[in-house]
Amino acid sequence: MPDLSPARARLRFGPLNYALLAAAITCLVIGYWLLSKGSTNAAPFLLVLGYCVLFPLGLALSPKAAGPGE
């Protein structure tokens, strides 16, 4: 097992974390694009979804620990 520094050990992201962060960035980009086009319904929804749901979940969820048989 590789020796991980304390900073590296705290930043272990799994595939789910990267997927959620990518979805958050996608929602934010589309939300700001729609906002620039004058959308008053979809843009705020996408921005709130990206900033308040997907981005925090992508940072807060920890990858599943490997079991004893793995």
For the residues 49-68, what does the mean pLDDT come to?
84
Structure tokens at 35: 């906002």
In a domain, residue 35? The reply is yes
Residue 20 structural domain = 14-60
Answer whether residue 1 shows pLDDT above 70: no
In a domain, residue 9? The reply is no
What's the domain count of the chain? 1
For the residues 9-28, what does the mean pLDDT come to?
89
pLDDT of residue 12: 80
In a domain, residue 4? The reply is no
**How many of the other CB atoms lie within 10 Å of CB of 53?**
14
In a domain, residue 48? The reply is yes
Average pLDDT value over all residues in the chain: 85
Answer whether residue 34 shows pLDDT above 60: yes
In a domain, residue 37? The reply is yes
What is the pTM for the complete model shown? 0.76
